Amino acid sequence: MKGLLIISGLGILAMLAEIFKFKKVLYPLVLIGILAAYALGFTEWNANYNIEVFSNMIRFDNVALAFSGVILATAFFWFILANDYFEKDHVTDHFALVLFALVGALMLTAFSNMTTLFLGIEILSIPMYVLAASRKRDLASNEAGFKYLIMGSFASGFLLFGIALIYGATGSFDLMAIRAYISHNGADLPAFFYAGVLLVLVAMLFKVSAAPFHFWAPDVYEGSPTVITALMSTIVKTAAFAAFMRLFLVTFGGVNETWGIVLAVVIALSLVVSNITAATQQSVKRMLAYSSISHAAFMLMAILANNRGMASVSAILYYSLAYSIGSIAAFTVVYHVSKQESGSSNIEAFNGLAKRHPLMAVCMTVAMLSLAGIPVTSGFFAKYFVFSLLIGTSYNWLIILAILTSAVGVYYYFKVIIAMYFKAPTKEDGITIDSSHVVLLLLTTLFTIALGLVPNFVIEIFG
């Protein structure tokens, strides 16, 4: 809760910075603020499990705190990655927008009412629309922002419609009340209630960009500035999954036969479509966009498994952490490589990176291994937890499909590794990167391996 307040305060402060001329100190201030918000999360651990805030609109229980922790940690890394982004024009606007998006993300981890869910999604999305279009003289960036806005608005419409139908059936916006209503009146829920659940499902699938609702993702990812793409594929995704989980595991857990089969089909489609399309991409950024769809499918598999107490939750938590950290590392490298090639992130730009900047090549390799799910990186454990959740359920076939498509995944991740180590560089000159980015790369790489070596810290977090 305190974290949410701090980040909101920082956002407002950022808007004032232009007027009161303290732009220069804003960057360190934000970093410190995020760390403070992160640290304050620890003080709330186990503490206000049952305290109602804002008439029970929001509740920071342990699950919310854990996901906030992932989001804040990723945000910290992200701000280090994006230091350039806050140097030229519109500095304070950029700060404010990102911070408000962060506020939305934190709300999504902790909402306990349908209205807070909607607010959170909008607070998260609206800044993201603007940020996607923030390279304002670039046509692709404008297109990205526009597409994102149109598609996002559609999804919000679905969401609202769904919420309205659910409210009509159960008479409440409160998640716990809805849950209780479902368990008491399971047999005679009206048909439009199920329609409402499915509409909410569709809206959430839009937000996590699962196939067949993924068409916006690649264009938006490619058109946006690289750092914003990194933001979308990490923080936004984690927040969307936190919300997804709370909705479907907690609230609609009782009617999983309604959404289970739909979700299974969506997962299967996402796995196939994303991996096969990713394999044909020339641009690494676009490849990462498609691969993020496949990772979304994996996280959805953990939701599909549904019924194992906290196991699904901790699997998603671990997956989002592993994926976020790996992505931040990958995007840092993509950012620098594409800067060398005047914005292009084609696979050729990675040729011979091992010679031009060995450290980046090593870190990128670890990131790719992690995203591909090779032990002992964190990505492996993430996939392992999902598999072990789903095995023995009626969805065994999804595991087989996931394995087959993972092999395709290895193809495109390793294409990058092969290019870096095996192909001759197009340019001979070395690449210099900021020392802060060196630290960032080392930290993320270290985390990726450390999380793989000691997954217990995350997986056993809920006791």
Q: How far is the CB of 365 from another protein (least distance, A)?
A: 9
Interface residue with another protein, options 380, 416, 441, 447 (CB under 8 A): 380
Task: Report residue 201 as tokens.
Answer: 């499902």
Question: CB 178 → another protein: shortest distance, Å?
Answer: 31
> 157-188 in b/e burial notation, b at 16+ Cβ within 10 A?
ebbbbbbebbbebbebbbbebbbebbeeeeee
Closer to another protein by Cβ: residue 195 or 376: 376
| The amino acid at 409 | G
Candidate segments 170-178, 270-278, 416-424, 431-439, binder of another protein by CB under 8 A: 416-424
Minimum distance, C-beta of residue 11 to another protein, in the bound complex (Å)? 38
In whole angstroms, give the CA distance from residue 222 to residue 345.
9
Residue 36 burial (CB < 10 Å; 0-12/13-18/19+)? middle
Q: How far is the CB of 350 from another protein (least distance, A)?
A: 13
Residue 404 C-beta: closest distance to another protein, Å: 8
Strand partners for 329: none
Tokens for 187? 């047999």
Of 84-92, 129-137, 232-240, 381-389, which segment contacts another protein by CB under 8 A? 381-389
Q: How many residues at the interface with another protein, by CB under 8 A?
A: 26
Q: Which two tokens stand for residue 149?
A: 């806005």
Q: Quote the least distance from Cβ 153 to another protein, whole Å.
A: 40
Rounded Cα gap, residues 350 and 337, in angstroms? 7
Q: How many CB atoms lie within 10 A of CB 265?
A: 13
**Residue with smaller CB distance to another protein, 28 or 309:** 309
Output the smallest distance, CB 443 to another protein, in A. 19
On whether the CB atoms of residues 366 and 445 are closer than 8 A, the answer is yes
Site string for another protein, 383-412 (x = CB under 8 A): -x--xx--xx------xx--xx-xx--xx-
Quick note: the x/- pattern for another protein over 166-185, rule CB under 8 A, is --------------------
Q: Which of residues 23-42 bind another protein (CB under 8 A)?
A: none
Q: Are 340 and 413 in contact (CB under 8 A)?
A: no
CB of 246 to another protein, least distance (A): 23
> Around 331, how many Cα atoms within 13 Å sit in the side-chain half-sphere?
31
* Residue 18 in tokens: 């232009």
Tell me the H-state helices in 280-346.
284-305, 311-340
* Least spacing, CB of residue 276 vs another protein, in Å: 14
Q: Could you say whether residue 421 binds another protein (CB under 8 A)?
A: yes
Spatial separation of the C-alpha atoms in residues 151 and 221, rounded to whole Å: 14
Alpha helices in 208-250 (DSSP H): 216-223, 226-231, 237-245
Distance CA 4, CA 437 (A): 27
Among 49, 54, 215, 422, binds another protein (CB under 8 A): 422
CA Rg, the chain, in Å?
21
Q: How far is the CB of 384 from another protein (least distance, A)?
A: 7
Q: Which residue among 16, 418, 439, 446 contacts another protein (CB under 8 A)?
A: 418
* 263 lies in the site for another protein, by CB under 8 A: no
**Which one of 52, 87, 434, 460 is in contact with another protein (CB under 8 A)?**
460
Residue whose CB is less far from another protein, 247 or 398: 398
Mark 331-370 with x for binding to another protein (rule: CB under 8 A) and - for no binding. --------------------------------------x-
Q: How far is the CB of 209 from another protein (least distance, A)?
A: 25
- The count of other CB atoms within 10 Å of the CB of residue 219 is 18
CA distance 229 to 332: 11
Contacts for 175 with CB less than 8 Å, ≥ 6 apart: 111, 112, 113, 114, 246, 247, 250, 251
Q: Is 430 in the site for another protein (CB under 8 A)?
A: no
Residue pair 419/353 in contact (Cβ under 8 Å)? The answer is yes
Residue among 56 and 406 whose Cβ is closer to another protein:
406
- Using CB under 8 A, list all residues that contact another protein: 369, 374-376, 380, 384, 387-388, 391-392, 399-400, 403-404, 406-407, 410-411, 414, 418, 421-422, 455-456, 459-460
